[in-house]
């Protein structure tokens, strides 16, 4: 058959007038033995020049299903007026529609999409020879069907029925004696499969009635059952059930009769009938599961009633009545066996999994119900935690947040645009409640407010909660919670500003180590480890004191939210039952995609009120300072103190006692701290901790046999430091460590504490 081509590209021209770039492509075509140049054209109207050539390739099947010929006539067009200066058109009029083609106007040759990148990127590596090879590549890969990975997974077909019925998770357990207790509605017609959802009437707010009537048959429990062919008629089903000492006909008659009142049933009330056969399967006397078989009767209710001998159509009417009314009218329905030949269609029946089964499918113990808890702050991270645990059916959660969903939140939040303007707590509660359908037997609670408020609804939730997950991304919330004895065990979670790390600060069951101490120990790990150098990179800076690692960020991808939320949700769940405190950091390695965990040892926390300030520390802090002392004996040693000052709570939480700089003068009876080599000690501390940990005073040791009491020199030093820090309104602290005790001093007031 003769091939018909488009007349395309304008007027015929000579090679001499071609633009330099097209001249080079023209020469590449002449040099390629598989390309035969037919003609050159130019179109003055759109300022284009073209090479028309036949591209011949015998490396693919001539009968390929795509319809690419082994020789295709193409037009290579050059135009500086277009965003992409090169265009290749297939001139054969019946050239097939394939993937990777550009849009063209009606009755124009098809345009091959050779590159995905813009010309500004392509031209960096573009050569005329590679361009010609690219054209051949497109033709060959398209012919072979490999130019684009367009494979889609085919869903495995477990059933052959065109009907899929989903029952409530506890259908058999709570099924009553009435055959119509279950309501079945069509929720979706997809291709050749109709999905039916079963629910209880009590869970429906409408009064439209079910789309089907149901007849349940529960057989006696059996251990083994032979494989049987699906019955095709009611008669065949009846025979099978009779062999199991059951039956369907009488139940079916009763079900049909129950649908009809004395007023009869009209056309609009006609409904199809589904039979449900439940077979409990037992092992060692215990029911392990229930097998369901469903059958759709391919007759409407009224006609089915006629063939069963329980209904009859009134003469001249579109109404059917029960047999008893017909007897009164001397129109008795004769017994018939027509029902035996009624066709039935198998229905694939599955039961919605129970909470225990969902936990089992999620790799969680069936019996691990999780805590009665609160998620405070249901933004990007908190909302994702709620979604994960809601899907796993782990825990019964209330959601507290005082913010509404804003348009920019949609980039990382679990909600869609339709929720913009609504409270985040309500939004997350609604979305989680819609994951599963348990007839709202456990209503999700959500509160628009602050978790540290005294609002009655918040107080009630706090009173009955076992775990509080704080994802509020603020400093004041965990610090306020740390002061309150009536709050449950708290897990403080956040993602660092760069989005590369997730952090978990989890209190112990008894709350002997609270979030404020865990925070300080977390910062000590940042200052003491190499990974801490860039851990909080990207924070707003030291001018934003208190922002640090929990500040709002704008450049974290939704991928990282999912990644860190998955890690945190699993780790909180795993550690909840252990009852011990935990600090852990997970760093994402961008290059490899790996996760590096940093498990930080947690130490018991202590505190003492001195001169109106509450000084807080942990055993790890004192152990490190005491180690510096032991390493220097018999000489004294010392250094600077780094900590967190909270002006509102009047607390100084000690983070780290730094070792003495090299220029220090240390003797068995004295210590004079020199300057640190690096002037950046404090700057580095502020940068690493997001401006939260700062200089709070000095520490030094006393030799063996001496108490941690201030000498005159110590008093003068503390006075000097106090004067310097008062310029910023900050307190000054001195720590002295001796053999068996240590002491803190502020403004002339002190307290001595024994090591044991």
Tokens for 613, please give them: 């300030």
Cα–Cα distances in Å, from 101 out to 66, 87, 88, 256, 601? 13, 11, 10, 59, 59
Q: Minimal CA–CA distance to 293: which of 226, 212, 351?
A: 351
Q: What is the pLDDT of residue 677?
A: 62
For residue 740, the number of C-alpha atoms closer than 13 Å in the C-beta half-sphere is 4
Q: Give yes or no for a contact between 604 and 621, defined as CB atoms under 8 angstroms apart.
A: no
Q: Whole-prediction pTM value?
A: 0.70
pLDDT at 326: 45
Q: Where are the domains of the chain?
A: 11-144, 163-352, 358-600, 605-754
Q: Do domains 358-600 and 605-754 have the same CATH topology?
A: no
pLDDT of 678 reads 54
pLDDT of residue 156: 29
**From CA 685, how far away is CA 30, in angstroms rounded?**
68
pLDDT of residue 107: 81
Q: Do the beta carbons of residue 709 and residue 573 sit within 8 Å? A: no
Query: What integer pLDDT is reported at residue 279 of this predicted model?
Result: 78
CA-to-CA dists, residue 503 to 306, 473, 506, 572, angstroms = 70, 11, 10, 11
Quick one: pLDDT at residue 389? 97
Look at residue 227 in the predicted model and tell me its pLDDT.
43
Lookup: tokens for 126 = 């573009």
Q: Of 452, 513, 525, which is closest to residue 486 (Cα–Cα)?
A: 452
Residue 172: helix, strand or coil by DSSP?
A: helix
Q: What is the pLDDT of residue 304?
A: 87
Q: How many CB atoms lie within 10 A of CB 576?
A: 21
C-alpha span between 344 and 592 (Å, rounded): 57
> Are 683 and 721 spatial neighbours (Cβ–Cβ below 8 Å)?
no
Report d(CA 517, CA 616) in Å as an integer. Answer: 8
CATH code at 358-600: 3.40.50.720
User: Which residues, in sequence order, are CB contacts of 732 under 8 Å at separation 6+?
Assistant: 696, 697, 718, 721, 722, 724, 725, 726, 746, 747
Architecture category of domain 605-754 in CATH: 3-Layer(aba) Sandwich (3.40)
- The two structure tokens encoding residue 48: 């284009």
Position 263 scores a pLDDT of 83
Q: Is 517 helix (H, G, I), strand (E, B) or coil?
A: helix
Q: Return the exposure string of 391-408: e unless at least 16 CB atoms fall within 10 Å of the residue's CB, then b.
A: ebbbbbbbbbbbebbeee
Mean pLDDT in consecutive groups of 10 residues from the start of the chain, 756 residues: 92 94 95 96 93 96 94 94 89 89 80 86 93 96 77 34 81 50 69 77 50 76 59 86 81 82 77 81 76 83 86 85 57 63 86 90 94 96 97 96 94 95 95 82 78 94 96 90 96 94 97 96 96 82 40 74 97 96 97 96 96 96 96 95 94 95 89 76 90 94 93 92 91 95 94 90
Place of tokens 């991270």: 381
Residue 538's pLDDT is: 74
């Amino acid at each position: 058959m003769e091939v018909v081509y488009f007349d395309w590209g304008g007027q015929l021209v000579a090679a001499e007038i071609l633009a330099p770039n097209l001249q080079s492509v023209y020469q590449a075509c002449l040099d390629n033995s598989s390309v035969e140049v037919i003609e050159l054209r130019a179109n003055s109207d759109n300022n284009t020049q073209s090479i028309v050539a036949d591209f011949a390739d015998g490396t693919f099947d001539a009968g390929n299903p795509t319809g690419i010929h082994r020789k295709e006539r193409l037009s290579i067009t050059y135009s500086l007026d277009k965003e992409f200066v090169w265009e290749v058109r297939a001139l054969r009029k019946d050239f097939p529609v394939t993937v990777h083609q550009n849009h063209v106007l009606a009755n124009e040759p098809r345009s091959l999409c050779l590159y995905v990148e813009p010309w500004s990127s392509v031209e960096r590596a573009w050569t005329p020879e590679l361009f010609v090879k690219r054209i051949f590549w497109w033709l060959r890969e398209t012919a072979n069907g490999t130019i684009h990975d367009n494979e889609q997974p085919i869903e495995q077909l477990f059933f052959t029925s065109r009907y899929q019925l989903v029952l409530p998770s506890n259908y058999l357990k709570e099924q009553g004696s009435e055959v119509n207790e279950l309501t079945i509605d069509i929720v979706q017609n997809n291709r050749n499969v109709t999905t039916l959802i079963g629910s209880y009437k009590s869970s429906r707010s409408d009064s439209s009635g079910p789309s089907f009537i149901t007849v349940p048959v529960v057989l006696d429990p059996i251990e083994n059952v032979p494989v049987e062919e699906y019955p095709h008629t009611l008669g065949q089903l009846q025979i099978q059930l009779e062999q199991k000492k059951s039956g369907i006909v009488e139940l079916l008659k009763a079900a049909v009769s129950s649908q009809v009142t004395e007023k009869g049933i009209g056309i609009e009330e006609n409904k199809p009938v589904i039979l449900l056969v439940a077979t409990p399967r037992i092992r060692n006397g215990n029911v392990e599961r229930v097998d369901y078989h469903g059958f759709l009767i391919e007759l409407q209710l009224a006609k089915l009633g006629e063939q069963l001998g329980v209904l009859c159509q009134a003469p001249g009417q579109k109404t059917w009545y029960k047999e008893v009314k017909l007897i009164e009218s001397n129109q008795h329905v004769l017994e018939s066996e027509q029902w035996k030949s009624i066709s039935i269609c198998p229905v694939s029946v599955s039961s919605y999994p129970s909470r225990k089964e969902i936990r089992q499918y999620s790799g969680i113990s069936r019996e691990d119900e999780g805590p009665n808890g609160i998620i405070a702050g249901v933004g990007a991270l908190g909302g994702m935690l709620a979604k994960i645990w809601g899907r796993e059916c782990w825990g019964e959660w209330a959601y507290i947040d005082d913010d509404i969903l804003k348009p920019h939140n949609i980039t990382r939040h679990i909600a869609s645009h339709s929720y913009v303007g609504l409270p985040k707590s309500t939004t997350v509660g609604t979305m989680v409640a819609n994951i599963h359908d348990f007839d709202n037997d456990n209503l999700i609670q959500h509160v628009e407010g602050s978790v540290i408020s005294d609002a009655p609804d918040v107080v009630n939730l706090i009173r009955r909660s076992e775990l509080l997950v704080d994802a509020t991304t603020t400093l004041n919330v965990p610090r306020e919670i740390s002061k309150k004895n009536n709050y449950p065990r708290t897990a403080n979670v956040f993602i660092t500003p760069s989005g590369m790390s997730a952090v978990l600060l989890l209190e112990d069951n008894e709350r002997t180590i609270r979030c404020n101490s865990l925070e300080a120990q977390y910062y000590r790990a940042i200052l003491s480890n190499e990974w801490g150098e860039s851990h909080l990179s990207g924070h707003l800076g030291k001018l934003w004191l208190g922002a640090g690692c929990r500040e709002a960020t704008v450049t974290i991808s939704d991928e990282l939210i999912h990644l860190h939320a998955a890690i945190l949700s699993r780790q909180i769940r795993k550690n909840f039952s252990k009852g011990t405190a935990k600090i852990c950091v997970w760093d994402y390695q961008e290059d490899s995609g790996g996760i590096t965990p940093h498990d930080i040892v947690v130490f018991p926390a202590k505190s003492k009120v001195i001169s109106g300030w509450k000084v807080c520390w942990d055993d790890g802090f004192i152990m490190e300072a005491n180690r510096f002392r032991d390493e220097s004996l018999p000489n004294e040693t010392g250094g600077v103190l780094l900590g967190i000052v909270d002006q509102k709570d009047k607390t100084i939480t000690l983070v780290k006692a730094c070792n003495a700089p090299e220029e220090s003068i240390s003797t068995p009876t004295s210590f004079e701290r020199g300057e640190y080599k690096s002037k950046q000690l404090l700057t580095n501390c502020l940068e690493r901790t997001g401006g939260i940990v700062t200089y709070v005073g000095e520490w030094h040791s006393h030799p063996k046999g001496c108490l941690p009491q201030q000498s005159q020199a110590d008093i003068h030093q503390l006075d000097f430091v106090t004067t310097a820090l008062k310029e910023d309104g900050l307190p000054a602290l001195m720590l002295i460590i001796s053999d068996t005790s240590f002491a803190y001093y502020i403004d002339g007031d002190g307290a001595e504490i024994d090591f044991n």
